[in-house]
Structure 1
Amino acid sequence: MAKKISRRMQAALEKVEPRAYEPLQALNLLKETATAKFDETAEAHIRLGIDPKYTDQQLRTTVSFPKGTGQAVRVAVIARGEQVQEATNAGADVVGSEELIDEIQQGRMDFDIVIATPDMMPKVAKLGRLLGPRGMMPSPKGGTVTTDITDAIGAFKAGKQEFRADRTGIVHVMFGKASFPAEDLLVNLKALQEVIDRNRPSGAKGRYWRSVYVSASMGPAIEVDISSLRDLKTTEIAA
């Protein structure tokens, strides 16, 4: 049985044409179709020409959004000794050592990011089955295994975000709020595009970018013209 489309969604769908929009047009349309009664999240869904089952075609990295994400990020830090106090002073929401690892194993999940110091990783490894599927397992590539606790906490709370391509080669990233000015959303989307290009896997062959769609969290998908996004200069956005 087909799922019934709400009147709100039907009205939003009618505004979106089946074509690729210029980036700023797409983001203005995202804002226009964000008609829920709360401030919806701006999402990007990017299909890449990679097959992540091969190690040289995997994409996992971080992006720092210049305009932030508009979201409060809860950071957990697993460390020991003086770095426990350093993490607390730097604004971590949850801090601990072996006892925090035990609490996470028992189901504690009141955080969005987990940062760990390298010396704690042998113990953190046992959390892989819990944190891995949620995308929260600390990793050096993601910037979440580090000795520089203060900088890492500050960066993630300011809008840095870790992401990876899923098993079908699609990247799903939240890059702001629908209430942001379209120009700010474009700055963030451009930053994401540049990071994805810089981190192109060595095994990626042929056409790397296949499609880019943006949407509000409760809105319809809007296709973005890939070439226009990649050709856009950051200075042109500011202008």
Structure 2
Amino acid sequence: MPPLRGTLILPEKVPKKIRILCFAEGAAAEAAKAAGADIVGTTDLIEPITKGELQFDMVISTPESFTVATKVAKILGPKGLMPNVKKGTVTTELATTIDVLKNSIRYTSGRTGDVRVTVGKVGFTPEQVEKNLKYVLDEVMGYIALAPGKKKIKRNKFVHKIWMNATFSPALPLRMTQFTF
């Protein structure tokens, strides 16, 4: 089975604090700041990044400022932070990209096929958690059904167990009959 990777914007937003560094100048820099970017600049950011003084979780860039970002590629690349056209982090639509990055949840599958996703926080109601969980399951099951090179398959063929837990707490099994695939 191919590895599962993706980004979701859940129906019930899971609040998280993500710090975004944006390589932009001029009007694009103002737009990035207005959209919620935490650190904005161009060549002035090179020295603090090389010294490790700046704290950030994601990096985006405009196409015009991408050459500045390449000067710190040896630092950002190994951490998986280098802006990339394929990932959508080199863009002219900074406001949209920042909004998506701040509100999205990433998921990947492990070596054993397990998929771990945050579907809620302690303050969520059971209905909110259920809504997010069903959305994630629909997304993952849709990914499996549409995997390239596969014939039509029964969608729930690969999901054997669903477990849910809070951080540092025991996991509880969920009944598969609760979910319709």
Q: TM-score range by the shorter chain?
A: 0.7 to 0.9
Counterparts of 1:1-239 in structure 2 under 5 Å?
Answer: 50=1, 57-108=2-53, 110-118=55-63, 120=66, 123=70, 125-126=73-74, 127-129=76-78, 131-132=79-80, 136-140=81-85, 142-157=87-102, 159-200=103-144, 201-202=147-148, 207-226=157-176, 228-229=178-179, 231=180
Change (3 A) 1:163 1:97: farther
Which stretches in structure 2 are left out of the alignment for 5+ residues?
Answer: none
Aligned sequence identity (%):
33
Aligned length: 171
Deviations 1:137-170 (A, max 9, x none): 545565434321101212333x212332234433
Q: Residue type matched to 2:168 in 1?
A: M
The secondary structure found in structure 1 opposite 2:115 is: strand
Contact 1:65–1:191 (CA under 8 A) maintained in structure 2? yes
CA distance in 2, matches of 1:137, 1:223: 38
The secondary structure found in structure 1 opposite 2:120 is: strand
Shift of 1:216: 0.7
Shift of 1:64: 0.2
CA distance in 2, matches of 1:224, 1:118: 46
Shift of 1:83: 1.9
State the TM-score, normalizing by the size of structure 1. 0.58
Which stretches in structure 1 are left out of the alignment for 5+ residues?
Answer: 1-49, 51-56, 233-239
Q: Alignment RMSD, CA only?
A: 3.0
CA distance in 2, matches of 1:140, 1:225: 41
Change (3 A) 1:216 1:106: same
CA distance in 2, matches of 1:225, 1:190: 13
